Amino acid sequence: MRAIDSYIFKMTQKPIFHKEFFAKMHTFKELEPVDVEDLSMLKLLGLPITKYNNYAFTLETITTPIGQGKFCIVDIEANGSKPALHQIIEIGAVMIENGKEVAEFSSLAKADILPDSIEQLTGITLAELQKAPSLTSVLEAFRLFIKDAVFVAHNVNFDYYFISYTMEQAGFGPLLNRRLDTIDLARKCIEAPKYGLGALTDYLGIGFENHHRALYDARATAQVFFKALENLPKDVQTVEQLIAFTNPQNQKKKKKEKPSKPTDTSL
């Protein structure tokens, strides 16, 4: 977890005085190019910040009911697994607002390298990538699409940090969105033999085509998300409570009662 993530988590525990907040924001290296005293800029980076009163800030997710929340279900394809060595070749996303799918985002990104294994896995060809929009333009469009919605994905840290790293390298600043993992959410709300996306959608009877294409995986993940929400405990009411409920640290007792996790939970 980044230091900035730890500080954002602190904001979920209590409001932070303006002076303290701005002073702390200036200490994060990844925010050096950003005017951290411009709240609209921080919201564009994904932080759902709002004024608590005339002296302090808090997060909108703390009081927003789940049914009124903004959730962006995201999936990426990349030509390798390491952000510092490889690049994103496709981003797909589904925006959920007020409990409904309201928009989709889908784009390939220009690349000059595509290993045979990735081509076979995704069905994407190098010729398609060479004709695609630049990665920078795709990232810019995605930033404007997601805004400060909760970033949701199946194995969320991979997609989140890959995009965030790439955003920083492109000069757009890091992602600051709250995030939620549908693997962890499903483990708490759905009894299933396996929790990889393909196995889980098959178990739930969710129609699923073109696995390992970003938009199709995002659509399938959105359906898993909706299914899991049907089984939430009644005391989980707000977006931030949902994020806290999903946290794997709150699953220790269940882990002792269940078999060990499958090695690969993202497929």
Q: Is the pLDDT of residue 51 over 60?
A: yes
Q: How many CB atoms lie within 10 A of CB 197?
A: 26
- Domains in the chain with CATH codes: 3-62 (no CATH), 66-247 (3.30.420.10)
Beta bridge partners of residue 96, listed in sequence order: 71, 101
- Give the mean pLDDT of the chain: 93
Which residue is associated with the tokens 């995002």? 218
- Residues 107, 110, 113, 118, Cα dihedral to 10°: 10
Question: Residue 113's pLDDT band (boundaries 50, 70, 90)?
Answer: very high
Residue 259: per-residue pLDDT: 38
Q: What is the pLDDT of residues 217-230, one digit of tens each?
A: 999 999 999 999 99
CA separation for the pair 34, 50 (Å, rounded)? 18
- Return the SS3 of 244: helix
Which residue is associated with the tokens 């510092």? 84
CA separation for the pair 71, 115 (Å, rounded)? 32
Q: Is 126 exposed, middle or buried (0-12, 13-18, 19+ CB in 10 A)?
A: middle
- Of 48, 49, 264, nearest to 158 (Cα)? 264
DSSP-H helix ranges across 34-177: 39-44, 116-122, 126-130, 135-146, 156-169
Q: What is the pLDDT of residues 200-221, one digit of tens each?
A: 999 999 988 888 999 999 999 9
- Of 167, 132, 122, 165, nearest to 146 (Cα)? 167
What is the distance, to the nearest Å, from the Cα of residue 239 to the centroid of all Cα atoms in its chain? 14
Question: Residue 249's pLDDT band (boundaries 50, 70, 90)?
Answer: confident
Residue 248: per-residue pLDDT: 83
Residue 254: per-residue pLDDT: 41
